Amino acid sequence: MKANFTADDTKVKRLGNTTIKSPLDISYGISLNEQILFHPYPGMSDDIPPVSFELSQPEEYIYFDPTKVTAGIVTCGGLCPGLNNVIRAIVLGLYHGYKVRSIFGIKYGLQGFIPEYGHPLIELTPEVVADIHEQGGTMLGSSRGSQSIEAIVDALERQNMRILFIIGGDGTLNAAAKIANEVLKRDLKISVVAVPKTIDNDISCVSRSFGFETAVDTSTQAIQCAHTEAQSYPKGIGLVKLMGRYSGFIAATAAAAQRDVNFVLIPEVDFDMDGPNGFLEVLRARLERRSHAVIVVAEGAGQKYFNSDTVETDESGNVRLKDIGVYLQHRIKEYFSKKGIEINLKYIDPSYIIRSVPANTNDGLFSATLGQNAVHAAMAGKTGLVVSIWHGVYCQLPIELAISEKKKLHPNSRLWMNVLESTGQPRFENK
C-alpha cells in the first residue's frame, strides 16, 4: 500500500458535540486526544509524516439519545462468512448496551431503500437475531447493482433513520461514501458507519477483513482434497481455483498454511505459460520428478491470456473476470496430450462453498467486535467512516481512505516468500 495520504486524511467527521451521558457502565481510561493509533507502516520513507488512526472504543458522552434514535442495517454485495455475526453484534450492542429499541433491517441490499421493489423492513430484536450467527449468508438478504443515492437518503428521511450501518465490499463502500456525502450536503443529522466486507482481504488500510480466516480454513480443505486426488493417480494433478479478483491473499495464505501446494498463481505476480521457463514446462518437470502436483490459482490471475476487447461488467460495475481455472485445465490437458503424456487432472472450484459457510470461532469473534465498534462510533455521532483493524489494534478511518486503492499482496512480502519457500516454485518467466 502506498503512503499517499496524510494525517488530515484520517480524521473522522462528527455530526456535532456529544452532550448525552453514555448508558454504558464502563471505565473510560483513555481521553479523546489519546484515541489514536500511531502508524507508520513498513516501507514508509522517512520524509513522510507518521499517520494516526482513531482507536475504536466507546465514549463517555454520546450524540444520539438512545430513547429516540432509529437505526437501520443493510448488507450488500456477495456473501461472506461473518455477515450474520456483524448484524447480531450491532443489534445486541444497540439494544443491550445503549438501550436503543428502534432497530430495523433493510432487505436485499440497497434495493430495500427503493419503494418500487417493495421490500419490507424487518424489526430487529435480540430474539430475532438470537441464532443467526450459526448460519451462513445474511438474514437480511443482499443484492448487487447501484441505486439512486438521492432516493436512498430520501428513504432514510421518511423512516426517520438517524443511524445507518452498511456492510459490504468495495462497491458498497463507494455507495456508503456517497450516501454520507449526500447526507452532509442536505445538512441532515444521520450517521453512516460502514463495516468493510471482502473475502479477498483487499481493502486499503484494513489489515484483515472479516470472513477471510474462515475462507482460508475452507480453502485448505479443498487443497487437502486436491492433494489426495493428485497422489492417488500416476501423473496426478490437483487444480484448485480460489477467490481473489485483484489480490492473492487467500491463495497464498491457504497454500502457506497447508504446505501441500506446489504451484501458486496470483494476480500480483505475472507468469508465462509457454517456453522453457514457463509454467507448463515446469509442471512437466515436476510430474517427471514426483509424479504428482497441486496447483492453486487465484481467480484474478492470468487475465492477460484472454481477449481484452470483450470486457464485461456485473450489476455493480465490477469487471467479469474470465475463468482462469477452466483455462488452465484446458491448457494443461492440451499440453500433455500433445506430448503423449497421460495425466490425471482433477479441478476443484469451492468458491460458493467458501463464501456461504458460517464464520469460524476466530472470525465470529472478529466480526462481532467490528459490529460493536460500529455501534460505539455511530452513537457518538461519527459518520462517513469504516471500522477497521490495523497492526492488531481496532481503529476507524474515513471511508474515502478505505476505497482509495486496492490492497495487494507484495511480491517481496513475508507471506509470498513463505509461499515460494514452501512450494519451491520458480518465477515462470522467459526473460
In a domain, 29, yes or no: yes
Q: Specify whether 193 is located in the same domain as 269.
A: no
Q: Specify whether 33 is located in the same domain as 119.
A: yes
| Mean pLDDT, rounded, for 353-365 | 95
Q: Specify whether 57 is located in the same domain as 176.
A: yes
In a domain, 1, yes or no: no
Q: Residue 2 has what pLDDT?
A: 47
In a domain, 428, yes or no: no
Would residue 363 show up in a list of annotated catalytic residues for this protein? no
Q: Name which of 112, 100, 125 is nearest 75 in CA terms.
A: 112
In a domain, 53, yes or no: yes
Band the pLDDT of 68: cuts 50, 70, 90: very high
Please state, in angstroms and rounded to a whole number, the distance separating the CA atoms of residues 184 and 55.
Answer: 23
Count how many Cα atoms sit within 13 Å of the Cα of residue 191 in the half-sphere of its side chain: 29
Q: Specify whether 248 is located in the same domain as 202.
A: no
Residues ≥6 apart with Cβ < 8 Å to 312:
319, 320
Q: Residue 101 has what pLDDT?
A: 97
In a domain, 176, yes or no: yes
Q: Specify whether 155 is located in the same domain as 170.
A: yes
Amino acid at 69: V
- Does residue 161 register a pLDDT over 90? yes
Q: Residue 25 has what pLDDT?
A: 78
Q: Specify whether 383 is located in the same domain as 298.
A: no
CB-CB contact of 257 with 212 (8 Å) = no
Domain count, the chain: 2
Band the pLDDT of 316: cuts 50, 70, 90: low
Q: Residue 315 has what pLDDT?
A: 62
Mean pLDDT, the chain, whole residue set:
91
Q: Specify whether 154 is located in the same domain as 13.
A: yes
pLDDT tens column, 80-107 = 999 999 999 999 999 999 999 999 999 9
Q: Specify whether 17 is located in the same domain as 85.
A: yes
What is the domain-level CATH number for residue 306?
3.40.50.460
SS3 call for 316 = coil
Domain range enclosing 113: 7-209+358-402
pLDDT tens column, 402-431 = 998 889 999 999 999 999 999 999 988 887
What is the domain-level CATH number for residue 123?
3.40.50.450
CB-CB contact of 282 with 268 (8 Å) = no
- Does residue 5 register a pLDDT over 90? no
pLDDT tens column, 263-284 = 999 999 999 999 999 999 999 9
Return the H-helix or E-strand segment holding 21: strand 20-21
In a domain, 80, yes or no: yes
| Mean pLDDT, rounded, for 300-307 | 92
Q: Specify whether 385 is located in the same domain as 264.
A: no
Instruction: Say what percent of the chain tops pLDDT 70.
Output: 91
9, 47, 170, 200: the catalytic one is 200
Q: Specify whether 330 is located in the same domain as 373.
A: no
Q: Specify whether 230 is located in the same domain as 191.
A: no
CB-CB contact of 93 with 371 (8 Å) = yes
In a domain, 431, yes or no: no
CA 213 to chain centre: 11
Q: Residue 44 has what pLDDT?
A: 47
Q: Residue 205 has what pLDDT?
A: 86
Q: Specify whether 26 is located in the same domain as 144.
A: yes
- Output phi, psi for 267, to 5 deg: -65, -30
Q: Residue 43 has what pLDDT?
A: 46
In a domain, 430, yes or no: no
